[in-house]
Structure 1
Protein backbone atom coordinates (compact mmCIF):
# COMPACT_ATOMS: atom_id res chain seq x y z
CA UNK A 1 0.00 0.00 0.00
CA UNK A 2 1.15 3.52 -0.58
CA UNK A 3 2.22 5.39 2.51
CA UNK A 4 -1.06 7.27 3.03
CA UNK A 5 -3.21 4.17 2.62
CA UNK A 6 -0.95 2.12 4.88
CA UNK A 7 -1.07 4.80 7.53
CA UNK A 8 -4.87 4.82 7.26
CA UNK A 9 -5.06 1.04 7.75
CA UNK A 10 -2.65 1.16 10.68
CA UNK A 11 -4.66 3.99 12.24
CA UNK A 12 -7.89 1.96 11.98
CA UNK A 13 -6.65 -1.54 12.88
CA UNK A 14 -3.48 -0.82 14.85
CA UNK A 15 0.00 -1.72 13.64
CA UNK A 16 0.37 -4.96 15.61
CA UNK A 17 -3.21 -6.11 15.01
CA UNK A 18 -3.31 -5.40 11.27
CA UNK A 19 -2.57 -9.07 10.49
CA UNK A 20 -4.85 -10.54 13.19
CA UNK A 21 -7.93 -11.78 11.26
CA UNK A 22 -10.25 -11.84 14.27
CA UNK A 23 -9.32 -8.28 15.18
CA UNK A 24 -9.69 -7.11 11.58
CA UNK A 25 -13.15 -8.71 11.34
CA UNK A 26 -14.15 -7.10 14.65
CA UNK A 27 -13.18 -3.65 13.40
CA UNK A 28 -15.02 -4.25 10.12
CA UNK A 29 -18.09 -5.49 12.04
CA UNK A 30 -18.16 -2.22 13.98
CA UNK A 31 -18.30 -0.30 10.69
CA UNK A 32 -14.86 1.30 11.00
CA UNK A 33 -13.54 -0.05 7.68
CA UNK A 34 -15.66 -0.09 4.50
CA UNK A 35 -12.89 -0.19 1.87
CA UNK A 36 -11.33 -3.09 -0.04
CA UNK A 37 -9.38 -5.72 1.87
CA UNK A 38 -6.36 -6.12 -0.41
CA UNK A 39 -3.25 -6.06 1.77
CA UNK A 40 -5.10 -6.71 5.06
CA UNK A 41 -4.24 -9.80 7.12
CA UNK A 42 -2.05 -10.64 4.21
CA UNK A 43 -1.08 -14.17 5.25
CA UNK A 44 -4.73 -15.22 5.67
CA UNK A 45 -7.18 -16.63 3.16
CA UNK A 46 -9.77 -14.16 1.89
CA UNK A 47 -13.05 -15.21 0.32
CA UNK A 48 -15.68 -13.98 -2.10
CA UNK A 49 -19.22 -14.28 -0.76
CA UNK A 50 -22.53 -15.20 -2.40
CA UNK A 51 -25.70 -15.54 -0.28
CA UNK A 52 -28.75 -17.06 -1.97
CA UNK A 53 -32.17 -18.45 -1.01
CA UNK A 54 -32.04 -22.21 -0.42
CA UNK A 55 -34.22 -22.85 -3.47
CA UNK A 56 -31.34 -21.65 -5.71
CA UNK A 57 -28.44 -23.07 -3.70
CA UNK A 58 -28.31 -26.42 -5.51
CA UNK A 59 -28.11 -24.79 -8.93
CA UNK A 60 -25.45 -22.38 -7.75
CA UNK A 61 -23.37 -25.18 -6.22
CA UNK A 62 -23.46 -27.01 -9.57
CA UNK A 63 -22.45 -23.77 -11.30
CA UNK A 64 -19.41 -23.54 -9.02
CA UNK A 65 -18.52 -27.20 -9.55
CA UNK A 66 -18.65 -26.73 -13.32
CA UNK A 67 -16.57 -23.54 -13.17
CA UNK A 68 -13.90 -24.19 -10.53
CA UNK A 69 -11.42 -21.59 -11.86
CA UNK A 70 -13.60 -18.53 -11.13
CA UNK A 71 -15.71 -20.20 -8.42
CA UNK A 72 -13.59 -22.44 -6.15
CA UNK A 73 -15.77 -23.32 -3.16
CA UNK A 74 -14.18 -22.93 0.28
CA UNK A 75 -17.33 -23.31 2.40
CA UNK A 76 -21.11 -23.63 2.19
CA UNK A 77 -23.38 -22.90 5.16
CA UNK A 78 -26.57 -24.56 6.28
CA UNK A 79 -29.72 -22.52 5.53
CA UNK A 80 -29.99 -19.57 7.90
CA UNK A 81 -26.57 -20.22 9.46
CA UNK A 82 -24.62 -17.00 10.03
CA UNK A 83 -21.39 -18.59 11.29
CA UNK A 84 -18.72 -20.40 9.29
CA UNK A 85 -16.71 -22.34 11.90
CA UNK A 86 -14.52 -24.06 9.30
CA UNK A 87 -13.22 -20.67 8.19
CA UNK A 88 -12.83 -18.75 11.43
CA UNK A 89 -13.75 -18.27 15.05
CA UNK A 90 -16.70 -15.95 15.62
CA UNK A 91 -17.41 -15.13 11.97
CA UNK A 92 -20.76 -13.41 11.46
CA UNK A 93 -21.42 -13.41 7.73
CA UNK A 94 -24.02 -10.64 8.15
CA UNK A 95 -21.51 -8.01 9.24
CA UNK A 96 -17.93 -9.17 8.68
CA UNK A 97 -17.51 -7.85 5.13
CA UNK A 98 -16.62 -4.17 4.65
CA UNK A 99 -19.36 -3.76 2.04
CA UNK A 100 -22.15 -5.93 0.60
CA UNK A 101 -24.15 -5.73 -2.59
CA UNK A 102 -27.88 -6.50 -2.40
CA UNK A 103 -29.48 -7.73 -5.64
CA UNK A 104 -33.18 -7.84 -6.45
CA UNK A 105 -34.41 -9.55 -9.63
CA UNK A 106 -30.87 -9.46 -11.02
CA UNK A 107 -30.43 -5.73 -10.50
CA UNK A 108 -28.09 -4.11 -7.99
CA UNK A 109 -30.44 -2.55 -5.43
CA UNK A 110 -28.03 -1.18 -2.81
CA UNK A 111 -24.62 -1.40 -1.19
CA UNK A 112 -24.58 -1.68 2.59
CA UNK A 113 -22.03 -2.39 5.33
CA UNK A 114 -24.32 -4.78 7.25
CA UNK A 115 -27.09 -7.15 6.11
CA UNK A 116 -28.43 -8.20 9.52
CA UNK A 117 -31.77 -6.54 8.88
CA UNK A 118 -32.09 -8.41 5.57
CA UNK A 119 -31.27 -11.84 6.96
CA UNK A 120 -33.69 -14.73 6.40
CA UNK A 121 -33.78 -18.33 7.65
CA UNK A 122 -33.62 -19.71 4.10
CA UNK A 123 -30.36 -17.99 3.10
CA UNK A 124 -27.35 -20.15 2.21
CA UNK A 125 -23.84 -18.66 2.22
CA UNK A 126 -21.14 -19.67 -0.26
CA UNK A 127 -17.54 -18.57 0.31
CA UNK A 128 -15.36 -18.82 -2.77
CA UNK A 129 -11.59 -18.56 -3.07
CA UNK A 130 -10.14 -15.13 -3.81
CA UNK A 131 -6.98 -14.16 -5.69
CA UNK A 132 -5.99 -11.85 -2.82
CA UNK A 133 -4.92 -15.07 -1.08
CA UNK A 134 -2.12 -15.85 -3.54
CA UNK A 135 -0.82 -12.29 -3.66
CA UNK A 136 1.34 -12.80 -0.57
CA UNK A 137 2.98 -15.77 -2.30
CA UNK A 138 3.66 -13.64 -5.38
CA UNK A 139 5.20 -10.93 -3.25
CA UNK A 140 7.31 -13.47 -1.38
CA UNK A 141 8.58 -14.63 -4.78
CA UNK A 142 9.72 -11.07 -5.47
CA UNK A 143 6.92 -10.19 -7.87
CA UNK A 144 5.63 -6.66 -7.33
CA UNK A 145 1.88 -5.95 -7.34
CA UNK A 146 1.13 -2.41 -8.40
CA UNK A 147 -2.40 -2.19 -7.03
CA UNK A 148 -1.15 -3.05 -3.53
CA UNK A 149 1.79 -0.67 -3.83
CA UNK A 150 -0.62 2.09 -4.85
CA UNK A 151 -3.27 1.23 -2.24
CA UNK A 152 -5.85 0.32 -4.90
CA UNK A 153 -8.35 -2.45 -5.43
CA UNK A 154 -7.31 -4.93 -8.13
CA UNK A 155 -8.62 -4.21 -11.64
CA UNK A 156 -11.38 -6.60 -12.78
CA UNK A 157 -12.97 -7.04 -16.21
CA UNK A 158 -15.87 -8.90 -17.80
CA UNK A 159 -14.62 -11.07 -20.66
CA UNK A 160 -15.86 -12.93 -23.70
CA UNK A 161 -15.03 -16.24 -21.98
CA UNK A 162 -18.31 -17.97 -21.22
CA UNK A 163 -18.89 -20.07 -18.12
CA UNK A 164 -20.64 -23.43 -18.18
CA UNK A 165 -24.26 -22.96 -17.16
CA UNK A 166 -26.15 -24.67 -14.34
CA UNK A 167 -29.85 -24.01 -13.97
CA UNK A 168 -30.34 -20.25 -14.38
CA UNK A 169 -26.68 -19.44 -13.64
CA UNK A 170 -24.24 -18.71 -16.46
CA UNK A 171 -22.68 -15.87 -18.40
CA UNK A 172 -19.29 -14.24 -18.85
CA UNK A 173 -16.23 -14.94 -16.74
CA UNK A 174 -14.76 -12.01 -14.83
CA UNK A 175 -10.98 -11.79 -14.53
CA UNK A 176 -8.57 -9.80 -12.37
CA UNK A 177 -5.45 -8.29 -13.97
CA UNK A 178 -1.96 -7.71 -12.62
CA UNK A 179 0.72 -6.16 -14.84
CA UNK A 180 4.21 -7.58 -14.53
CA UNK A 181 7.56 -7.85 -16.28
CA UNK A 182 7.90 -10.62 -18.84
CA UNK A 183 10.63 -12.16 -16.71
CA UNK A 184 8.15 -12.53 -13.83
CA UNK A 185 5.29 -14.10 -15.77
CA UNK A 186 6.55 -17.70 -15.76
CA UNK A 187 7.31 -17.49 -12.05
CA UNK A 188 3.81 -16.06 -11.41
CA UNK A 189 2.27 -19.03 -13.23
CA UNK A 190 4.35 -21.44 -11.15
CA UNK A 191 3.49 -19.73 -7.86
CA UNK A 192 -0.26 -19.40 -8.42
CA UNK A 193 -0.59 -22.93 -9.82
CA UNK A 194 0.02 -24.12 -6.27
CA UNK A 195 -3.26 -22.53 -5.15
CA UNK A 196 -6.17 -24.05 -7.14
CA UNK A 197 -8.61 -23.23 -4.34
CA UNK A 198 -7.98 -19.51 -4.92
CA UNK A 199 -8.17 -19.49 -8.75
CA UNK A 200 -4.82 -21.12 -9.49
CA UNK A 201 -2.84 -20.27 -12.63
CA UNK A 202 -3.80 -17.41 -14.97
CA UNK A 203 -6.47 -17.98 -17.61
CA UNK A 204 -4.88 -15.55 -20.08
CA UNK A 205 -1.59 -13.73 -20.61
CA UNK A 206 -1.06 -10.81 -22.96
CA UNK A 207 -3.41 -9.20 -25.51
CA UNK A 208 -6.63 -8.34 -23.61
CA UNK A 209 -8.69 -8.02 -26.80
CA UNK A 210 -8.42 -11.78 -27.30
CA UNK A 211 -10.70 -12.26 -24.28
CA UNK A 212 -13.02 -9.38 -25.08
CA UNK A 213 -11.43 -6.59 -23.03
CA UNK A 214 -11.38 -3.37 -25.05
CA UNK A 215 -9.69 -0.98 -22.64
CA UNK A 216 -7.48 -1.88 -19.68
CA UNK A 217 -7.81 1.68 -18.41
CA UNK A 218 -11.55 1.16 -17.86
CA UNK A 219 -12.07 -1.89 -15.60
CA UNK A 220 -15.63 -3.03 -14.92
CA UNK A 221 -14.79 -3.38 -11.22
CA UNK A 222 -11.94 -2.17 -9.02
CA UNK A 223 -9.31 0.40 -9.93
CA UNK A 224 -7.24 0.85 -13.06
CA UNK A 225 -3.47 0.55 -12.78
CA UNK A 226 -0.90 1.63 -15.33
CA UNK A 227 0.56 -0.92 -17.75
CA UNK A 228 4.15 0.14 -18.42
CA UNK A 229 5.74 -0.38 -21.88
CA UNK A 230 7.90 -3.29 -20.68
CA UNK A 231 5.05 -5.09 -18.89
CA UNK A 232 2.56 -7.79 -19.83
CA UNK A 233 -1.00 -7.96 -18.45
CA UNK A 234 -1.71 -11.25 -16.69
CA UNK A 235 -5.31 -12.31 -16.06
CA UNK A 236 -6.68 -14.64 -13.40
CA UNK A 237 -10.25 -15.98 -13.08
CA UNK A 238 -12.08 -13.85 -10.54
CA UNK A 239 -14.67 -14.52 -7.84
CA UNK A 240 -16.76 -11.59 -9.08
CA UNK A 241 -17.88 -13.98 -11.85
CA UNK A 242 -20.98 -15.01 -9.81
CA UNK A 243 -22.19 -11.42 -10.04
CA UNK A 244 -22.20 -11.85 -13.82
CA UNK A 245 -24.13 -15.10 -13.36
CA UNK A 246 -26.62 -13.32 -11.11
CA UNK A 247 -27.36 -10.85 -13.89
CA UNK A 248 -28.41 -13.83 -15.99
CA UNK A 249 -30.26 -15.75 -13.28
CA UNK A 250 -32.10 -12.68 -11.98
CA UNK A 251 -32.98 -14.14 -8.56
CA UNK A 252 -35.62 -12.22 -6.67
CA UNK A 253 -33.12 -11.66 -3.86
CA UNK A 254 -29.49 -12.36 -3.14
CA UNK A 255 -26.44 -10.80 -1.49
CA UNK A 256 -22.79 -10.72 -2.59
CA UNK A 257 -19.60 -9.04 -1.45
CA UNK A 258 -18.86 -5.69 -3.06
CA UNK A 259 -15.88 -6.13 -5.41
CA UNK A 260 -12.66 -6.19 -3.39
CA UNK A 261 -14.48 -6.32 -0.03
CA UNK A 262 -13.74 -9.87 1.06
CA UNK A 263 -14.35 -12.10 4.04
CA UNK A 264 -11.05 -12.46 5.92
CA UNK A 265 -10.76 -15.96 7.37
CA UNK A 266 -8.53 -17.51 10.03
CA UNK A 267 -6.97 -19.91 7.50
CA UNK A 268 -3.37 -19.34 6.47
CA UNK A 269 -2.75 -19.02 2.74
CA UNK A 270 -0.19 -21.82 2.83
CA UNK A 271 -2.90 -24.22 4.05
CA UNK A 272 -4.46 -24.05 0.58
CA UNK A 273 -1.24 -24.80 -1.30
CA UNK A 274 -1.55 -28.06 -3.24
CA UNK A 275 2.22 -28.71 -3.26
Structure 2
Protein backbone atom coordinates (compact mmCIF):
# COMPACT_ATOMS: atom_id res chain seq x y z
CA UNK A 1 0.00 0.00 0.00
CA UNK A 2 1.24 3.51 -0.87
CA UNK A 3 2.49 5.11 2.34
CA UNK A 4 1.25 8.50 1.13
CA UNK A 5 -2.36 7.34 1.44
CA UNK A 6 -4.68 9.88 3.09
CA UNK A 7 -5.64 9.23 6.71
CA UNK A 8 -9.30 8.72 5.78
CA UNK A 9 -8.40 6.19 3.07
CA UNK A 10 -6.04 4.38 5.45
CA UNK A 11 -8.75 4.17 8.11
CA UNK A 12 -11.14 2.74 5.51
CA UNK A 13 -8.54 0.12 4.58
CA UNK A 14 -8.10 -0.75 8.25
CA UNK A 15 -11.86 -0.89 8.81
CA UNK A 16 -12.31 -3.28 5.87
CA UNK A 17 -9.42 -5.52 6.96
CA UNK A 18 -7.29 -4.62 3.93
CA UNK A 19 -4.55 -3.14 6.14
CA UNK A 20 -3.46 -4.50 9.53
CA UNK A 21 0.23 -3.57 9.82
CA UNK A 22 2.16 -1.01 11.85
CA UNK A 23 1.53 2.57 10.78
CA UNK A 24 5.03 4.06 10.97
CA UNK A 25 5.65 6.19 7.87
CA UNK A 26 2.04 6.09 6.66
CA UNK A 27 0.06 9.25 5.85
CA UNK A 28 3.02 11.60 6.32
CA UNK A 29 2.06 15.00 7.63
CA UNK A 30 -0.72 13.75 9.88
CA UNK A 31 -0.86 13.05 13.61
CA UNK A 32 -0.88 9.45 14.78
CA UNK A 33 -2.21 8.59 18.23
CA UNK A 34 -1.76 6.00 20.92
CA UNK A 35 -5.01 4.75 22.41
CA UNK A 36 -6.28 3.96 25.90
CA UNK A 37 -9.92 3.05 26.55
CA UNK A 38 -11.26 2.66 30.10
CA UNK A 39 -14.57 2.45 31.98
CA UNK A 40 -15.89 5.88 33.00
CA UNK A 41 -15.27 5.31 36.71
CA UNK A 42 -11.54 4.93 35.97
CA UNK A 43 -11.31 7.80 33.49
CA UNK A 44 -10.72 10.73 35.86
CA UNK A 45 -7.71 9.06 37.51
CA UNK A 46 -6.26 8.21 34.10
CA UNK A 47 -6.77 11.79 32.95
CA UNK A 48 -4.79 12.98 36.00
CA UNK A 49 -2.08 10.43 35.17
CA UNK A 50 -1.79 11.92 31.67
CA UNK A 51 -1.71 15.47 33.04
CA UNK A 52 1.00 14.48 35.53
CA UNK A 53 3.11 12.70 32.86
CA UNK A 54 2.83 14.80 29.69
CA UNK A 55 6.04 13.45 28.12
CA UNK A 56 4.92 9.79 27.79
CA UNK A 57 1.17 10.57 27.84
CA UNK A 58 0.50 13.78 25.84
CA UNK A 59 -3.28 13.97 25.59
CA UNK A 60 -4.56 14.97 22.13
CA UNK A 61 -8.29 14.20 22.45
CA UNK A 62 -10.81 12.26 24.51
CA UNK A 63 -14.45 11.22 24.33
CA UNK A 64 -17.10 13.90 24.68
CA UNK A 65 -19.07 11.46 26.85
CA UNK A 66 -18.89 7.77 27.83
CA UNK A 67 -19.89 5.40 25.06
CA UNK A 68 -18.98 7.75 22.21
CA UNK A 69 -17.23 5.86 19.39
CA UNK A 70 -16.11 8.97 17.53
CA UNK A 71 -13.44 11.62 18.07
CA UNK A 72 -14.69 14.53 15.93
CA UNK A 73 -11.60 16.66 16.58
CA UNK A 74 -9.48 14.01 14.85
CA UNK A 75 -11.66 13.09 11.86
CA UNK A 76 -14.51 10.80 10.82
CA UNK A 77 -13.46 7.98 13.15
CA UNK A 78 -15.06 4.84 14.52
CA UNK A 79 -12.72 3.97 17.35
CA UNK A 80 -13.99 0.37 17.36
CA UNK A 81 -12.64 -0.43 13.89
CA UNK A 82 -10.13 2.20 12.75
CA UNK A 83 -6.96 1.02 14.53
CA UNK A 84 -5.03 -1.85 12.85
CA UNK A 85 -4.70 -3.90 16.05
CA UNK A 86 -5.95 -3.59 19.63
CA UNK A 87 -4.93 -5.15 22.95
CA UNK A 88 -7.56 -6.14 25.52
CA UNK A 89 -6.74 -6.15 29.26
CA UNK A 90 -8.72 -7.66 32.12
CA UNK A 91 -7.72 -6.86 35.70
CA UNK A 92 -4.53 -5.31 34.30
CA UNK A 93 -3.52 -8.47 32.44
CA UNK A 94 -3.18 -8.53 28.65
CA UNK A 95 -5.53 -11.25 27.43
CA UNK A 96 -5.86 -10.93 23.65
CA UNK A 97 -5.03 -8.98 20.53
CA UNK A 98 -7.92 -8.28 18.14
CA UNK A 99 -8.50 -6.59 14.78
CA UNK A 100 -11.55 -4.64 15.97
CA UNK A 101 -13.36 -4.10 19.27
CA UNK A 102 -17.02 -3.99 18.25
CA UNK A 103 -17.79 -7.13 20.25
CA UNK A 104 -16.00 -5.62 23.28
CA UNK A 105 -17.63 -2.21 23.15
CA UNK A 106 -19.61 -0.92 26.16
CA UNK A 107 -21.65 2.22 26.77
CA UNK A 108 -19.49 3.24 29.76
CA UNK A 109 -16.16 3.36 27.89
CA UNK A 110 -14.09 6.54 27.58
CA UNK A 111 -11.46 6.97 24.85
CA UNK A 112 -8.13 8.77 25.29
CA UNK A 113 -6.00 9.54 22.21
CA UNK A 114 -2.38 10.33 23.08
CA UNK A 115 0.36 11.81 20.91
CA UNK A 116 2.74 9.40 19.18
CA UNK A 117 6.39 9.66 18.20
CA UNK A 118 5.53 8.61 14.64
CA UNK A 119 4.32 12.19 14.16
CA UNK A 120 7.70 13.81 14.85
CA UNK A 121 9.48 11.29 12.62
CA UNK A 122 8.28 13.30 9.63
CA UNK A 123 10.14 16.38 10.90
CA UNK A 124 13.30 14.32 11.40
CA UNK A 125 13.06 12.94 7.86
CA UNK A 126 12.42 16.42 6.44
CA UNK A 127 15.69 17.55 7.98
CA UNK A 128 17.54 14.75 6.21
CA UNK A 129 17.98 12.47 9.24
CA UNK A 130 17.78 8.70 8.86
CA UNK A 131 14.96 7.34 11.00
CA UNK A 132 16.15 3.78 11.24
CA UNK A 133 12.84 1.99 11.84
CA UNK A 134 11.45 3.63 8.69
CA UNK A 135 14.51 3.03 6.51
CA UNK A 136 14.60 -0.62 7.61
CA UNK A 137 10.82 -1.05 7.29
CA UNK A 138 10.20 -2.29 10.84
CA UNK A 139 8.32 -1.23 13.95
CA UNK A 140 10.23 1.16 16.22
CA UNK A 141 11.99 -0.59 19.14
CA UNK A 142 10.42 0.17 22.54
CA UNK A 143 11.81 -0.62 25.98
CA UNK A 144 10.65 -0.63 29.59
CA UNK A 145 12.90 1.57 31.76
CA UNK A 146 13.61 2.32 35.42
CA UNK A 147 12.23 5.88 35.06
CA UNK A 148 9.32 6.43 37.44
CA UNK A 149 6.12 8.09 36.27
CA UNK A 150 4.18 10.35 38.64
CA UNK A 151 1.34 8.39 40.25
CA UNK A 152 -2.32 9.41 39.96
CA UNK A 153 -4.74 7.33 41.99
CA UNK A 154 -4.09 3.68 41.08
CA UNK A 155 -2.11 4.58 37.94
CA UNK A 156 1.67 4.42 38.33
CA UNK A 157 4.68 2.57 36.92
CA UNK A 158 7.83 2.94 34.87
CA UNK A 159 8.15 4.83 31.61
CA UNK A 160 8.41 3.04 28.27
CA UNK A 161 10.70 4.64 25.69
CA UNK A 162 11.19 4.35 21.94
CA UNK A 163 14.70 4.39 20.48
CA UNK A 164 16.27 5.70 17.29
CA UNK A 165 20.06 5.67 16.68
CA UNK A 166 21.92 8.76 15.47
CA UNK A 167 25.48 10.00 15.23
CA UNK A 168 26.21 12.69 17.81
CA UNK A 169 25.65 15.72 15.56
CA UNK A 170 22.39 14.26 14.26
CA UNK A 171 21.29 13.43 17.82
CA UNK A 172 21.73 17.09 18.76
CA UNK A 173 19.68 18.11 15.74
CA UNK A 174 16.97 15.58 16.65
CA UNK A 175 16.71 17.14 20.12
CA UNK A 176 16.33 20.59 18.58
CA UNK A 177 13.65 19.42 16.15
CA UNK A 178 11.58 17.39 18.59
CA UNK A 179 11.52 20.12 21.22
CA UNK A 180 9.05 21.85 18.89
CA UNK A 181 6.57 18.98 19.27
CA UNK A 182 5.61 18.68 22.96
CA UNK A 183 2.21 17.23 22.02
CA UNK A 184 3.91 14.17 20.50
CA UNK A 185 6.48 13.44 23.26
CA UNK A 186 8.79 16.38 22.61
CA UNK A 187 12.55 16.14 23.13
CA UNK A 188 14.25 12.85 24.04
CA UNK A 189 14.41 11.83 27.69
CA UNK A 190 17.82 10.15 27.42
CA UNK A 191 20.66 9.48 25.00
CA UNK A 192 23.70 7.26 25.30
CA UNK A 193 24.22 4.42 27.77
CA UNK A 194 20.94 2.44 27.90
CA UNK A 195 21.96 0.82 31.18
CA UNK A 196 21.49 4.16 32.95
CA UNK A 197 17.74 3.89 32.36
CA UNK A 198 17.49 0.17 33.05
CA UNK A 199 17.78 -1.26 29.54
CA UNK A 200 20.05 -4.31 29.40
CA UNK A 201 20.09 -5.19 25.70
CA UNK A 202 19.08 -2.99 22.76
CA UNK A 203 18.77 -6.08 20.58
CA UNK A 204 15.87 -7.32 22.74
CA UNK A 205 13.18 -4.62 22.79
CA UNK A 206 10.11 -5.22 24.94
CA UNK A 207 7.91 -4.08 22.05
CA UNK A 208 8.55 -3.54 18.35
CA UNK A 209 11.66 -4.62 16.46
CA UNK A 210 15.40 -4.19 16.94
CA UNK A 211 17.15 -1.88 14.47
CA UNK A 212 20.75 -1.66 13.29
CA UNK A 213 23.13 0.46 15.38
CA UNK A 214 25.81 1.91 13.14
CA UNK A 215 29.39 2.66 14.08
CA UNK A 216 29.73 5.82 16.18
CA UNK A 217 25.98 6.06 16.69
CA UNK A 218 24.21 6.83 19.97
CA UNK A 219 20.86 5.37 20.99
CA UNK A 220 18.40 8.24 21.50
CA UNK A 221 15.34 7.56 23.65
CA UNK A 222 11.97 9.30 23.60
CA UNK A 223 9.09 8.88 26.07
CA UNK A 224 6.62 6.44 24.50
CA UNK A 225 2.84 6.16 24.49
CA UNK A 226 3.02 2.48 25.40
CA UNK A 227 3.67 3.73 28.95
CA UNK A 228 -0.08 3.61 29.82
CA UNK A 229 -0.04 -0.13 29.18
CA UNK A 230 2.49 -0.50 32.01
CA UNK A 231 0.30 1.74 34.19
CA UNK A 232 -2.70 -0.50 33.43
CA UNK A 233 -0.76 -3.50 34.72
CA UNK A 234 -0.21 -1.66 38.02
CA UNK A 235 -3.70 -0.16 38.36
CA UNK A 236 -5.50 -3.37 37.38
CA UNK A 237 -8.77 -1.90 36.08
CA UNK A 238 -11.34 -4.64 35.44
CA UNK A 239 -11.35 -3.86 31.73
CA UNK A 240 -9.27 -1.76 29.34
CA UNK A 241 -8.33 -1.58 25.66
CA UNK A 242 -5.24 -0.06 24.04
CA UNK A 243 -3.67 -0.01 20.59
CA UNK A 244 -1.11 -2.71 19.85
CA UNK A 245 2.37 -1.14 19.95
CA UNK A 246 3.16 0.46 16.58
CA UNK A 247 -0.45 0.14 15.34
CA UNK A 248 -1.77 3.67 15.72
CA UNK A 249 -4.90 5.69 15.14
CA UNK A 250 -4.07 7.83 12.10
CA UNK A 251 -5.98 11.12 12.30
CA UNK A 252 -6.87 14.06 10.05
CA UNK A 253 -5.01 16.44 12.38
CA UNK A 254 -1.85 17.79 10.76
CA UNK A 255 1.52 17.57 12.52
CA UNK A 256 2.08 21.23 11.71
CA UNK A 257 -0.90 22.09 13.93
CA UNK A 258 1.00 20.69 16.92
CA UNK A 259 4.36 22.36 16.31
CA UNK A 260 5.52 25.10 18.65
CA UNK A 261 7.21 27.72 16.50
Q: With the length of structure 2 as denominator, give the TM-score of the two structures.
A: 0.98
**Alpha-carbon distance in structure 2 between the residues aligned to 1:61 and 1:154:** 26
Does 2:182 match 1:175?
A: no
Does 2:109 match 1:127?
A: no
Extract unaligned runs of 5+ from structure 2.
Answer: none
1:188 maps to 174
Does 2:73 match 1:86?
A: yes
Aligned-CA RMSD value: 0.8
Does 2:253 match 1:233?
A: no
1:140 maps to 126
1:263 maps to 249
2:24 maps to 38
Does 2:91 match 1:98?
A: no
2:9 maps to 23
- Is the partner of 2:41 in helix, strand or coil? helix
- Is the partner of 2:196 in helix, strand or coil? helix
Spell out structure 1 runs of 4+ moving beyond 3 A. none
Q: How many residues align?
A: 260
Extract unaligned runs of 5+ from structure 1.
Answer: 1-8
**Alpha-carbon distance in structure 1 between the residues aligned to 2:191 and 2:107:** 43
The one of 157, 163, 181 equivalent to 2:149 is: 163
- Is the partner of 1:57 in helix, strand or coil? helix
**Alpha-carbon distance in structure 1 between the residues aligned to 2:68 and 2:260:** 29
Deviations 1:1-32 (A, max 9, x none): xxxxxxxx23xxxx7xx331100000001111
Contact conserved, 1:161 with 1:211, CA < 8 A, in 2? yes
**Alpha-carbon distance in structure 2 between the residues aligned to 1:196 and 1:55:** 28
- Is the partner of 1:86 in helix, strand or coil? helix
